[in-house]
Amino acid sequence: MVEKLQQTLRDSAAARWTVLVLVASMMFFAYMFVDILSPLASLLNDTLGWDQGVFGTYAAGEYLLNVFGFLILAGIILDKMGVRFTGLLSASLMVLGAAIKYWGISWSEANTVEWLNSWWTVMPGSAKIAMFGFMIFGCGCEMAGTTVSKILAKWFKGKEMALAMGLEMAIARVGVFAAMWLSPMISHHFAVDGTNSVTAPLLFASLLLVIGLLNFFVFTIMDNRFDRQLVAVGEMTTEHDPEEEFHVSDLKQIFSSKMFWIIALLCVLYYSAIFPFQRFATNFLEETLSISNAEAAGLFKWFPILAMVLTPFLGAFIDYKGKGASMMMLGALIMIACHGIFAFVLPAYPSKTLALITILVLGVSFSLVPASMWPSVPKIIDEKVLGSAYCLIFWVQNVGLCLVPLLIGKLRVATNGYFVPMIVFASFGVLAFILSLALKVEDKRKNYGLELPNKK
């Protein structure tokens, strides 16, 4: 009887995997919204006057408020208020930001508004409103990402944590594939007078975010029941022990951790060579291979496929065999090679087959590093400040993700090509590899267990 009383929803495979589906679907819709306009860069230029510099500035807007402190606040909210409140807040911010972005583009597309064009004249009015909406969305999206990480650490503690995190990332990345695949199709289907639509794909992705919000609401019901069970079995108390309650002063545990800073810097360098590249990849392929926008988007849509397939298996490998630090090193090496091919080989030998193979191999890198990085954080950071740790890592990451699209957009205009941007991306990979090597050395010295399996 005692053993039966100690069972919780975490011990039910059906319950914990249902939680995974609910929160991962929200991130799927979020990732889809992020890149829904990426395949339409040429159309945005033709219809709204967004050149590559404008597009890069708009893309940087997703991270702007996070860089200026919102993500640090988000971590405190997450550890103080819990995953239910923070998740609902983040999902609501995503829906609000999407609504502003859609309204800005659809409204200013049909209306010339003098005050919008009278300041910051390099940015069209539609780009200004879209960027503001993207800023609001970005706050919700990054907060949601850290919240989901803490949710999975909570629900899969002592279980298949790396596998769950790997599956969540895989499902989310299908959103990139879906955006690259569906956006041109929807745009063409809702063409008016021979001009493809920018607003139709945006509206479609915005409505999916509403579904994501509803899914998270269902999760809150399950998580509330789970907490009551944790109280019943003694894993939680109804009244917080002052020594266990989160205090802002606890953040010093994070800031004083050498391993935290290595992972945070590795994260920002690695992702700065992935996500900003996604924004420009369709246009890069379009120009380098002399193909249409739709064909270029059709090639790049396969980028997340190998990541989607491999990440869960890599997560399971880490759960049962370990080798997380070694996998980060391998992922960084693969990324260096891929961006090197984009810089030197593909322009000299413009082959769609070579482009597709390189894109797929880059997807392998995109599975190796995240699949090993995120489950490593709970091994080096106390659970009490885990939410803040994830948010601080995302904050450091967002500094790069905000500045790099601006840099790439400027380099693209200044050099009138993609050679220098690709060299920049490859350089990020070199630095990421050096940090992954330092991570493995430090783990060997301090025995954090990054090379050890998660499953107990």
Domain ranges of the chain: 15-231+253-446
Beta strands in 357-455 (DSSP E): none
Q: Is pLDDT at 115 greater than 70 in this prediction? A: no
Residue 2 has a pLDDT of 40
The pLDDT, as a whole number, for residue 55 is: 84
Task: For residues 228 and 237, give the distance between their C-alpha atoms in angstroms, rounded to a whole number.
Answer: 9
Q: What is the mean pLDDT of residues 388-407?
A: 83
- Higher-pLDDT residue of 134 and 243 is 134
* pLDDT above 90 (res 278): no
332 CB-contact burial (10 Å; exposed 0-12 / middle 13-18 / buried 19+): buried
pLDDT score at 119? 62
Q: What is the mean pLDDT of residues 422-444?
A: 95
pLDDT band at 108 (very low <50, low <70, confident <90, very high): low
The answer to whether 383 and 236 are in contact (CB under 8 A) is: no
Instruction: Average the pLDDT over 115-128 and give the result.
Output: 72
pLDDT digits (tens, 9 = 90+) for 60-101: 888 888 888 888 888 888 888 889 999 999 999 999 999 999
pLDDT surpassing 70 at residue 113:
no
Confidence (pLDDT) at 29: 96
Query: How does pLDDT run across 153-170, given as a tens digit for each residue?
Result: 889 887 888 888 888 988
Contacts of 143 (CB under 8 A, 6+ apart): 70, 71, 74, 77, 78, 86, 89, 90, 93, 391
Written as six digits, the tokens of 65 are 């408020």
Query: 9 by DSSP, 3-state: which?
Result: helix
Distance between CA atoms of residues 31 and 157, nearest Å? 26
Lowest-pLDDT choice from 62-66, 128-132, 283-287, 340-344 = 62-66
**439-445, long-range: CB < 8 A, 24+ apart:** 439/259, 439/262, 439/263, 439/266, 439/325, 439/328, 440/325, 440/326, 440/328, 440/329, 442/258, 442/259, 442/262, 443/259, 443/325
The confidence score (pLDDT) of residue 5 equals 44
CATH number of this structure's domain 15-231+253-446, picked from the four choices 1.20.1250.20, 2.40.30.170, 1.10.1740.10, 3.65.10.10 = 1.20.1250.20
> pLDDT at position 290, please?
92
Cα–chain-centroid distance for residue 195?
31
pLDDT given at position 1: 36
The pLDDT mean for the chain works out to: 86
* pLDDT above 70 (res 111): no
52 vs 89, which has greater pLDDT?
89
Residue entry with tokens 């944790």: 230
pLDDT tens sequence across 289-326 = 999 877 988 898 788 777 778 878 888 888 888 888 89
Q: For 226-267, write each residue's pLDDT tens digit.
A: 988 888 887 766 544 433 556 667 778 888 889 999 999 999
Summarize the confidence of residues 21-26 as an average pLDDT: 95
Percentage of residues of the chain with pLDDT beyond 90: 41
Dihedral sign from CA coordinates of 84, 90, 92, 94: negative
pLDDT digits (tens, 9 = 90+) for 174-204: 888 889 889 989 999 998 888 889 999 999 9
Residue 192's beta-bridge partner residues? 195
